Structure 1
Amino acid sequence: MRFDDRFLDELKNRLRLSDVIGKTVKLRRQGREYVGLSPFTKEKSPSFFVNDDKGFFHDFSSGKHGDLIGFLQETQRLTFVEAVEQLAAEAGMALPEPDPQAAAQEKKRQGLADWLDAAAAWFEAELRRPVGRAAREYLERRGLPESEWARFRLGFSPAGRTALKDYLVAKGARPGELVEAGLLIAPEDGGAPYDRFRDRIIFPITDGRGRIISFGGRAMDPEARAKYLNGPDTSLFDKGHVLYGLPEARKLLHAGGDGAILVVVEGYMDVIACQRSGIAGVAAMGTALGEAQMEMLWRLHPEPVLCFDGDRAGKLAASRAMDRALPLLKPGRSFRFAAVVGGKDPDDVLREQGAAALKSQLAAGAPFAEMLFNRERDAEPLDTPERRAGLKQRLRAAAASIADKDLAQAYRDDLLRRYDGLFAPPSRGGGEGRGPRGGGRGRNGGRRGPWREDEGSLYPTPQGVAAAKRLAGSLGAAPAALAKHAIADPHVLDEHLEALEAYGFGDPALDQLAKEIIRLRLEAEHLDTEALQRHLAATGFSALLTDIDRAAPHSGAPFIQSDVTLATARAQWSHAFAVLNRLAALEQALTAAKHDLGDGATSGASGTAVFMTLKTERDALRRAVRLGTIWIEDGS
């Protein structure tokens, strides 16, 4: 008996992998995974892992890896059909009745799939023939060498009207079949079908198991009516239920462990750039991200990162994704949002700045609630009571659209807290402070260490001044450059206040300075650079400011140069700030991972893999900071 993909997917959705495996293997929860002793080998230390989110098990002792069905096949020596029948009974699902018509349709779909495979092989061969020379040169200019073409099965379709058709018909295909497969276009006037893809670089589109179900094509002619063209919906291909790059993304998520991120980008080349950088990247099929695709993403990762272009279309796509996702959000099931710096796309960043820069920018995504609040806040001016009331109404409505009641209440509280912080008066005296960051409170909610309050202003105690002077002598050049520009252009901090409070400028010597700048930025509608410098000098930071001026030029940071425009400097600063934030986060994660390994909270194989992944990225960022390669060259 043959089972269609929809039946198998529904079967896996109804049963939790850990529940089924837990009947024969004693499992204990460890982070987002379950761990136990291998059912395949004799061992004393657990190396068998089960991940419900990703739908697979992995046994480090034997190297076995698979899904729910594969586990029963391996442990109970069942055939595929027997394993499916057993799981269907457990899930309360009736097996599909044998249907001669369905069997005939399946046989037909298999025939179409065979022609798609044949077309893919032909496209690949055409790319390497003389007719594909311009396409090869284009791929090389985009930084995609020939050694990578086979990995993604890239190809080329010549400009001829029937080149592919003639090849496949000669091999026995009927034109009608090729129309059904999406390879040919049948004219409405009844004329002879012709090739759908002509003079285009070809990107095969696969289902979750890696089987080719359609193609996408990038036009070589800059005047082409459609720059990118996808195949039509067919019996094999449904745009709303497919994510480009999914099989490879699954492998990368598995290899990356718990620290891996899943990123949704906009184009084929962006997906390829992410995957070449070791990032699990996928893309929707030229349409807005739909509910079915969101469910697919959440099966792989609890919080995928959505990275859309910074243009109007990209912002609209992000907004639509938010609206569609809101009713579906649940605890442990959300999205983050990231944008690469300077209006570029991931492919540009990989070519110009390298894999480490791309990883750091995508990893520094904003939470869903923050993006939602910013969207509603920026929807219209907030210069009248009516418009401010309208913002509050929109925030309440957005929270109410979440189906999970507990999460809906949590979102309502969070959004209204942000609203209160937007309009609350500045903190004064000994009060709690009701600004967006809680006024005079530090990141741990207490007073700012060795500081005192006097008529609404914070001044360092003698101990605080001494600490600042003591640390100033070993100030890092890159953090100093960040601080120098922030003092010269305080408004660059407006989108980064939360991160600045969490990580400062990347050097402990600057932590107190960062906190004072945050306080002043929140309390002043207009923070004048000269006034800020006078205030910092008058409150005990004179020596630190001098050290900043001395250390910053050694960083090589382009944004502190006098010939850089304000917009470019802000873009460059934001990128460097994100990199140092990521470095600080990695240092914290490494400390935690090392502690977990030391006290046995994580198993040797899994814990070591996570530790080494974090350490590799941390070391790469350290080298980038030391060598000055973290700076954007043009800031565009």
Structure 2
Amino acid sequence: MIPRDFIDELLARVDLVDVVGKRLKLKKSGANYFACCPFHGEKTPSFSVSPARQFYHCFGCGAHGTAITFLMEYEGLGFVDAVEALAAEAGLKVPRAQGAISAAEAAQQKSERQLLLELHAKAADFYRRSLERSPKARAYLEQRGILPATAERFGLGYAPSEWQALAAIFPHYSEPLLEKAGLVIAQPDSGKRYDRFRDRLIFPIHDRQGKIIAFGGRSLDGGEPKYLNSPETPLFEKGRTLYGLALARDGIREAGFALVTEGYIDVIMLAQHGLTNAVAALGTATTAEHVRTLLALTDQIVFCFDGDAAGRRAAWRALENSLEALKDDSRLRFVFLPPEHDPDSFVRAHGADAFRALITDEAKPLTTYLFDELTRDEDLHTAEGRARLAHLAKPLIGQIRAPMLRLQLEKELASRTGIAAETLHEWIPPAETASPSSRPAARRPRLAARRAPLPLAALLLRLLITHPLLASRLSVGLLPLEDPEPEWRACAAIIDAIDVGTLDAHATPAVLVEHFRASEHEEVLARHAASLLEETLPWEDPEATLADILHTLRRRRLEREIEALIALSRQRKLTPEETVHLGELLREKNRLTSVGTSGAIPMPQPP
């Protein structure tokens, strides 16, 4: 395990501009450097590198991070390999544990994630070797037209039909981690264990860095279910994972778009025919997180589904789930194959050129597909039909956060219904604020100073990211940690880390973000650190900003206590002590109100 203080030292020693500059052509503009983003196709540079904050951020696709993150994403490295490579560039040696340790002690030092990854890698190797020994599985691949080289590229395997075939490679078959990894199933009553995948063609499922995190299995004997996936585990979430993405990244960049299909074989057969930009959802509808992941690589997604009723239902769910993730420069298209085909059978029957032509000629833009579906059964020559269209479109357009795209859809709806666009704009409610876990790391409008204040939690977090020394002036007890906003908990984590000395109070934003890697705070810290490069800071005096935040936090806490006592007084008569305390709270609130804030920042008002 790499000591955290070494990672901090490494990031302090290297210059992100040099790291990126060795791989991209950077051009200085103002305080930062810019280049065309390596993670999505673009002609105008929007990839910004800040030498002051040692952080990069793409205003187009939302990619962001530190020197370590850049190497991981750009070169497809794991965390340890990225640290090793960066240390080698800096002339540093990564420290290792001193002295010999036993295998049991070494295992204890590994993180659970690493152990689970090792289990999956070992299982994948076993399944691959089993495929070589199974005439039945090889015959199935030949029947489906999957060449040996393709099977090897995608790491296909075979799970033998035995109940405990994996016991051959896992002597400690009762190891709880095997069940946690989803490789074995334990019966709750008897405790008997058996392999999850038996007599199935195995499809390894990879994360974005190419690590195996789950498996899919296709029945070879007609058994149900036809396809079986690993359960959700600490490594694997269906709603966040796309099959084939690790292998499709280069293909997506070269083609300029991502092709979303429905199945494993579709992705594999398209790749075998040279269409290497295809991915698939994993036994679930396409989610907003899937779309955000793809929009970080490209600005165009083509959904290709079967032309039958099931395929059309899947396409509509994909559209509904995509709306909240769209950006103004996003382009979504939808294409349907003839009812008798899926991508696998179509490309085998007609070839890659015919498939490309189908996408080029038949794919409908989102707006066209949306309104075609909404008007399929409506007569727009009648007032009722136009009203029905407006009623159906309202909640869909209301999900869109991209302002220009939303405006264009409102105008299209206005032209079809005869309702004034201004009326529709007022009638359709604004999109709800995304939950912290689903908020897209994409381009956001710059803050209008004094007009659009940040939420208090976000404001404080960004202040601590840029000026962590101010954390020593704060108490965790003052923060409303019961509030669902994750920014409050991230602020508390920074305060605690600086208080106990595990985080340097003079840490750069890059060091601070890396300090919380793999913690629950990693995503929110990285997102706000990236936003600091894109948005104009709403404060000029950090000390005054902190004073205003403290003032507002104290006032809000007083207001909550006052509201609680007033609510209690409606239920029963307050005790003399409670009455005195209420009076003290009211006086303190009046004092804080009369003092006011410094006006250094536009403070958000409580809801």
For residues 201-216 of structure 1, the aligned pairs below 5 Å read 201-216=201-216
Match in the other structure for 1:194: 194
- Look up the match of 2:131: 127
Amino acid at match of 2:369: M
Aligned to 1:356: 353
| TM-score, with structure 1 as normaliser | 0.51
- Structure 1 CA distance for aligned equivalents of residues 275 and 25 of structure 2: 31
SS of aligned partner of 2:214 = strand
TM-score, normalised to structure 2, is 0.53
Cα distance in 1 between the residues matched to 2:92 and 2:376: 54
Provide the rounded CA distance (Å) in 2 between the counterparts of 1:2 and 1:133: 49
Normalized per residue, the structure richer in helix is: 1
For the residues of structure 2 that align with 1:194 and 1:333, how far apart are their CA atoms? 46
1:354-399 deviation per Cα after TM superposition (whole angstroms, max 9, x unaligned)? 1111222234421000110011011456685323321133234433
Distance 1:66 1:79, change over 3 A: farther
Paired residue for 1:143, among 142, 145, 166?
145
Instruction: Please name the residue that 2:446 is paired with.
Output: none
**Residue pair 2:379, 2:385 contacting (<8 A) in 1 also:** yes
Whichever residue aligns with residue 207 of structure 1, its letter is D
Shift of 1:221: 1.6
Match of 1:484 in 2: none
Correspondence for 2:218: 218
Cα deviation per residue 1:332-369 (whole Å; 9 max; x = unaligned)?
Answer: 12421112234411110121111111222234421000
| One-letter code aligned to 2:241 | V
Paired residues of 1:261 and 1:363 also in contact (CA < 8 A): no
Q: Helix, strand or coil for the counterpart of 1:389? A: helix
User: Contact between 1:369 and 1:415, CA under 8 Å: does it hold in 2?
Assistant: no
The letter of the residue matching 1:252 is G
Aligned to 1:77: 89
SS at match of 2:215: strand
What are the within-5 Å matches in structure 2 for residues 59-74 of structure 1? 66=75
Q: Is the 8 A contact 2:63 2:296 kept in 1?
A: yes
Aligned to 1:288: 285
Mean Cα deviation higher: 274-283 or 389-398: 389-398
Choose which of 159, 162, 187 in structure 1 pairs with 2:161: 159
CA contact (8 A) 1:308 1:339 kept: yes
Match of 1:311 in 2: 308
Report what 1:274 is aligned to. Answer: 270
State the distance in 2 between where 1:307 and 1:377 align: 21
Distance in 2 of aligned mates of 1:52 and 1:105: 39
Q: Which residue of 2 is the match for residue 399 of structure 1?
A: 397
Question: Once the 2 structures are TM-superposed, how far is the Cα of residue 76 of structure 1 from its aligned partner?
Answer: 11
1:114 pairs with 2:110: no
Contact 1:262–1:279 (8 Å) recurs in 2: no
Residue identity matched to 1:139: L
Aligned identity (percent) is 34
Structure 2 vs 1, CA of residues 192 and 2 (structure 1 numbering), >3 Å: closer, same or farther?
farther
Change (3 A) 1:80 1:274: farther
Give the corresponding residue for 2:261: 265
For 2:41 and 2:209, the matched residues in 1 are separated by: 27
Structure 1 residue 173: Cα displacement:
5.3
**Alignment partner of 1:370: what SS?**
helix
Separation in 2, partners of 1:179, 1:292: 27
1:162 Cα deviation from its structure 2 partner: 1.1
Residue in 2 aligned with 1:169?
Answer: 170
**Which of 288, 298, 305 is equivalent to 1:301?**
298
Cα deviation, residue 150, structure 1: 0.7
What SS is found at the alignment partner of 2:336?
A: coil
| 2:234 corresponding residue in structure 1 | 235
Using the TM superposition, give the Cα deviation of residue 80 of structure 1 relative to its aligned residue in structure 2, in angstroms.
10
Structure-2 change in CA distance of 1:147 and 1:77 (3 Å): closer
Partner of 1:335: 332
Amino acid at match of 1:375: E
Q: 1:296 to 1:128 in 2, by over 3 A?
A: same
CA RMSD of aligned residues (A): 3.9
Residue identity in the other structure for 2:177: E
Which of 383, 390, 403 aligns to 1:385? It is: 383
CA distance change for structure 1 residues 403 and 208 in 2, over 3 Å: closer, same or farther?
same
Are 1:408 and 2:406 matched, yes or no? yes
Contact 1:183 1:231 in 2 (8 A): yes
Contact 1:288 1:320 in 2 (8 A): yes
Summarize the Cα distance change of 1:313–1:81 in structure 2 as closer, same or farther, 3 Å threshold: farther
Paired residue for 1:32, among 17, 42, 55? Answer: 42
User: Which residue identity is paired with 1:337?
Assistant: F
Structure 1 contact 157–201 (Cα < 8 Å) conserved: yes
Query: How has the CA–CA distance of structure 1 residues 288 and 226 changed in structure 2, closer, same or farther, with 3 Å as cutoff?
Result: same
Measured at CA, do residues 418 and 279 of structure 1 come closer, stay the same or move farther in structure 2, by a change above 3 Å?
A: farther
Q: 1:533-560, CA deviations, whole angstroms, 9 ceiling, x for partnerless residues? A: xxxxxxxxxxxxxxxxxxxxxxxxxxxx
- Match of 1:232, as an amino acid? P
| Partner amino acid, structure 2, of 1:153 | G
Which of 351, 363, 366 is the equivalent residue of 2:364? Answer: 366
Output one character per residue of 1:210-251: Cα deviation in whole Å (capped at 9) or x when no partner. 0000100000122x1200000001111111111110111102
* Residue 324 (1) aligns with residue 324 (2): no
1:279 Cα offset (Å): 3.2
Structure 1 match to 2:439 = none
Q: In 2 relative to 1, CA 112–76 (structure 1 residues): closer, same or farther, beyond 3 Å?
A: closer
- Give 2:251's aligned residue: 252
SS of structure 2 residue aligned to 1:300: coil
Question: 1:59 maps to what in 2?
Answer: none
CA distance in 2, matches of 1:107, 1:410: 49
Cα deviation, residue 297, structure 1: 1.0
User: CA offsets, 1:82-101, max 9 Å, x none?
Assistant: 9xxxxxxxxxxxxxxxxxxx
Distance in 2 (alpha carbons) for counterparts of 1:240 and 1:80: 39
Structure 2 residue matching 1:314: 3-state secondary structure: helix
- Residue 424 of structure 1 corresponds to none
Q: Residue type matched to 2:111 in 1? A: K
Structure 1 pair 55/67, CA: closer, same or farther in 2 (3 Å)?
farther
CA–CA separation in structure 1 for the residues paired with 2:62 and 2:338: 30
Higher mean Cα deviation, 138-147 or 327-336?
327-336
Alignment of structure 1 residues 228-627 onto 2, 5 Å: 228-254=227-253, 256=254, 259-276=255-272, 277-364=274-361, 365-380=363-378, 384-418=382-416
Structure 2 runs not aligned, ≥5 long: 5-16, 50-57, 65-72, 95-106, 420-607
Q: What per-residue deviation string (whole Å, max 9, x for no partner) do you get for residues 13-63 of structure 1?
A: xx9x89995558664799814579xx9xxxxxxxxxx9964959xxxxxxx
The code of the aligned residue for 2:137 comes to A
1:540-584, Cα deviation, whole Å (9 max, x unpaired): xxxxxxxxxxxxxxxxxxxxxxxxxxxxxxxxxxxxxxxxxxxxx
Aligned to 2:552: none
Write the distance in 2 (CA, Å) between the matches of 1:26 and 1:71. 24
Letter in 1 for 2:264: Y
Instruction: State the structure with bigger RCO (CA 8 A, min sep 6), 1 or 2.
Output: 2
